[in-house]
Amino acid sequence: MGTITTNDGTEIYYKDWGAGQPIVFSHGWPLSADDWDAQLLFFLHHGYRVIAHDRRGHGRSEQTGEGHDMDHYADDLAALTAHLDLSNAIHVGHSTGGGEVVRYLARHGEGRVAKAALLCAVPPLMVRTESNPDGLPKDVFDDFQRQLAENRSQFYRDIAAGPFYGFNRPGAEPSEAVIQNWWRQGMMGGAKAHYDGVVAFSQTDFTDDLKRITVPVLVMHSQDDQVVPYVASGPLSAKLLRDATLHTYENFPHGMPTTQAETINADLLEFLRG
């Protein structure tokens, strides 16, 4: 574990465990590197070097008031990979982290990268526009910001207890430990970063970024994702990428790396070894 300082003076926290081919994990909003626990331990035990950072304003990274946009997220990731002098790396991004990975590859090139995986990721574009009719109305994201500003703690509790892990589905058995861990990670970060991050993950258009990527990419998405709707994300990203494999799940939630870790880890491992 350590920290780096980016060009604009922001301190970024990261974990770096093991040896072997590096896998770099980028987490979702508003969480931290801890959301990858099930993957870090699994791939560490399979001989990989595992690296995960807390995005600026999230987790243990500095709660800076500025730079909460995809370009800064990508630049921070580039600074980390350069600091660690990574090569032949595999980049895995969940939700907002998938957008971070896509922007990083398009903005900073693929010289250090072998493959990538996008899990329930926000690209190509979440918000509804004339050219993206299946996206979510902007009002949805405006309401996210309103609830965050009014009572962030309650808002985060409601997300974790409901749509993020599918605990609101009939017959679901909510895990209090999972809910509290999500809430804990969210509340570790800064309200300003999370407020601005809603715009970053919902209104950034990754269409051109996806077209520029040439490394093999595994796109993993569930049809029952209640946070990043399948119809406007995974399949569209796979079509825009030059070398993509789309892996569709039927009934997994948005937080499937946690609740369905055994399946997700096995499918990721198969892709990495393929």
Residue tagged active-site, from 26, 61, 95, 202: 95
Across the beta sheet with 244-249, the strand order is: 2-5, 11-17, 49-53, 22-26, 89-94, 113-119, 217-222, 244-249
Residues counted in the chain: 274
95 assigned to active site: yes
Phi, psi values for residue 94, rounded to 5°: -110, 130
**Cis peptide upstream of residue 124 (ω within 30 degrees of 0):** yes
Residue 225 a catalytic site member = yes
Q: Which of 27, 58, 94, 254 is catalytic?
A: 254
Bridge-based pairing state of the strands 11-17 and 49-53: antiparallel
Can you tell me the distance from the alpha carbon of 76 to that of 67, in angstroms, rounded to the nearest whole number?
Answer: 10
Residues 255 and 237: their CA atoms lie apart, in Å, by 19
Residue among 32, 225, 233, 237 flagged as catalytic? 225
> Is-contact 257 36, C-beta < 8 A?
yes
CB-count exposure of residue 115 (10 Å: 0-12, 13-18, 19+): buried
Annotation marks residue 153 as catalytic: no
Known catalytic residues are 95, 225, 254
